[in-house]
């Protein structure tokens, strides 16, 4: 892990007002959830950095791939960023920018991939929400109709569809959830969501039976003949969705199928507290949202919420320590495998525990991100995109201004 990270230069939180000076308003209080105690000065710095990076990003996007519609590296991701900025800062110019970018995205759909991040359901879902906010309900309905047309083929798993987040069923499922969250009511009927979960459960039981792993893990999933563990391609990302209340999995199966499968992932923990990219991989190298503790932590915290006990929370806290030590990456400042994505783990811990230590750590990672480009990090292939590049960093910096409402985009429910 040390070889992939840059040394964390920051002093850790010690609970004293002096240590969080300039960050927290509320001196002396150890636990606080409402309101989040960031100083107006720090929020002003975040806001100014958002403006500065946005103009760099817009310049950089002039040379971006004009045919990439995706949320992960393409136009839908930029549209999602602007939609988020509209939510956080309430400026109508952001919504207009979201419309511009999502329109480009709709012109170059893949017609192949179904997920929110890498396929067509992301552009359609983001467009539906943008049109809805603009009061253009007919266009919103049209996008929604096209999104739901994909549903049947996702349930059936046409073309050997996997189940993971980036290319599989739960990546399509996220699009439906996104619509319901953004519309503020059950715009997509719950049976659509339940049917996807049924298909995911059946697929996981089937593979577990085939590989005879029912005793260890009654659900099992693969992607390209590997059993991935992390949030992007693996088990932790899938189980995070299967543990959500209201998705139609039901208590009985949450206990009989999902819990032992979550516990199996929990047992894959390295001595460091980090998690392997794949089952059987003994190299403890990656501290990314896509592979490793920054993605697995969301599964652990959801398990803590649903099943209780101390074990899940303890392991999630251990993830926090790993990320604090090894989470400033040479790969840069992005969401998928960068400092911004890793900082969302601290925000998740803060939301779960109310402990200001985690908010402090998120602020320190934000300070690192605000020194964008000054650490000699590698430049990603798509340097301005949402999941690899600058747009993701901007998304995180904006989210930090309202930490209790923050959510890792395209993943956290
Ligand atoms: Zn990644």
Q: Which amino acids are annotated as binding site, given as ranges? A: 290, 336-337
Query: Model confidence over 174-230: pLDDT tens digits?
Result: 999 999 999 999 999 999 999 999 999 999 999 999 999 999 999 999 999 999 999
* Predicted confidence (pLDDT) per residue in 23-44, tens digit: 998 654 444 455 558 999 999 9
Annotated binding site for Zn(2+): 290, 336-337
Distance (Å, whole) CA 292 – CA 82: 28
CA of 380 to the centre of ligand 1 (A): 11
Total number of residues shown for the chain: 413
DSSP lists the bridge partners of residue 278 as 228
Distance 334 CA to ligand 1 centre (A): 9
Q: State the distance from the centre of ligand 1 to the C-alpha of 288, rounded, in angstroms.
A: 6
Query: In angstroms, what is the span from residue 33 Cα to ligand 1's centroid?
Result: 30
Centroid of ligand 1 to alpha carbon of 319 (angstroms): 17
Contacts of 42 (CB under 8 A, 6+ apart): 22, 23, 363
Tokens of 309: 């006990």
How far, in Å, is the centroid of ligand 1 from the Cα of 290? 4
Separation of 114 CA from ligand 1 center, angstroms? 19
337 CA from centroid of ligand 1 (Å)? 4
- Report the separation in Å between the CA atom of 254 and the middle of ligand 1, taken as the mean of its atom positions: 28
**DSSP annotation string for 36-95:** --B-HHHHHHHHHHHHHHHHHHHHHHTTS-TT---TTTSHHHHHHHHHHHHHHH--HHHH
Residue with tokens 């495998």: 337
Cα of 336 vs centre of ligand 1, distance in Å, is: 4
Helix then strand then coil, in percent of the chain rounded to 5, is 55, 0, 45
How many whole angstroms from 287 Cα to the centroid of ligand 1? 10
Q: How remote is the CA of residue 286 from the centroid of ligand 1, in Å?
A: 10
**CA–CA distance, 167 with 118 (Å, rounded to integer):** 6
Question: What is the residue-level pLDDT of the chain in tens, covering all 413 positions?
Answer: 878 999 999 999 998 888 998 999 865 444 445 555 899 999 999 999 999 999 999 999 999 999 999 999 999 999 999 999 999 999 999 999 999 999 999 999 999 999 999 999 999 999 999 999 999 999 999 999 999 999 999 999 988 999 999 999 999 999 999 999 999 999 999 999 999 999 999 999 999 999 999 999 999 999 999 999 999 999 999 999 999 999 999 999 999 999 999 999 999 999 999 999 999 999 999 999 999 999 999 999 999 999 998 899 999 999 999 999 999 999 999 999 999 999 999 999 999 999 999 999 999 999 999 999 999 999 999 999 999 999 999 999 999 999 999 999 999 99
Q: For residues 5 and 365, what is the distance between their CA atoms, to the nearest angstrom?
A: 13
What string of H, E and C letters represents the secondary structure of 287-343? CCCCCCHHHHHHHHHHHHHHHCCCHHHHHHHHHHHHHHHHCCECCCCCCCCCHHHHH
């Amino acid at each position: 892990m040390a070889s992939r990270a840059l040394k964390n230069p920051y002093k850790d939180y010690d609970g004293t007002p002096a240590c969080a000076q300039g960050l927290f308003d509320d001196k002396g209080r150890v636990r606080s959830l409402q309101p989040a105690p960031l100083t107006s000065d720090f929020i002003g710095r975040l806001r100014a950095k958002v403006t500065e990076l946005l103009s760099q990003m817009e310049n950089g996007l002039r040379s971006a791939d004009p045919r990439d519609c995706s949320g992960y590296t393409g136009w839908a991701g930029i549209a999602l960023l602007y939609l988020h900025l509209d939510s956080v800062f309430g400026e109508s110019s952001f919504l207009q920018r979201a419309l511009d970018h999502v329109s480009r995205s709709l012109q170059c759909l893949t017609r192949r991939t179904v997920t929110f991040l890498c396929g067509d359901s992301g552009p359609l879902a983001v467009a539906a929400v943008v049109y809805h906010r603009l009061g253009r309900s007919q266009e919103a309905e049209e996008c929604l109709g096209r999104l739901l047309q994909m549903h049947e083929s996702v349930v059936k798993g046409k073309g050997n569809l996997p189940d993971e987040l980036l290319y599989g069923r739960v990546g399509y499922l996220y699009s439906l959830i996104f619509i319901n969250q953004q519309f503020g009511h059950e715009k997509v009927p719950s049976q659509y969501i339940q049917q996807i979960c049924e298909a995911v459960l059946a697929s996981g039981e089937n593979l577990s039976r085939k590989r005879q792993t029912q005793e260890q893990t009654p659900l099992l999933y693969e992607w390209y003949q590997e059993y991935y563990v992390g949030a992007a391609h693996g088990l932790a990302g899938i189980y995070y969705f299967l543990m959500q209340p209201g998705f139609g999995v039901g208590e009985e199966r949450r206990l009989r199928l999902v819990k032992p499968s979550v516990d199996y992932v929990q047992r894959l923990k390295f001595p460091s507290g980090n998690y392997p990219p794949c089952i059987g991989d003994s190299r403890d190298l990656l501290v990314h949202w896509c592979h490793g503790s920054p993605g697995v932590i969301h599964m652990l915290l959801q398990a803590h919420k649903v099943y209780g006990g101390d074990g899940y929370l303890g392991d999630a806290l251990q993830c926090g320590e790993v990320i604090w030590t090894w989470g400033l990456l040479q790969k840069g400042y992005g969401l998928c495998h960068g400092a911004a994505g890793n900082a969302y783990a601290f925000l998740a811990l803060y939301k779960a525990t109310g402990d200001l230590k985690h908010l402090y750590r998120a602020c320190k990672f934000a300070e690192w991100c605000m020194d964008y480009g000054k650490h000699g990090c590698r430049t990603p292939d798509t340097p301005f995109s949402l999941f690899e590049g600058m747009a993701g960093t901007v998304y995180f910096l904006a989210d930090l201004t309202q930490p209790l409402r923050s959510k890792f985009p395209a993943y956290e429910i």
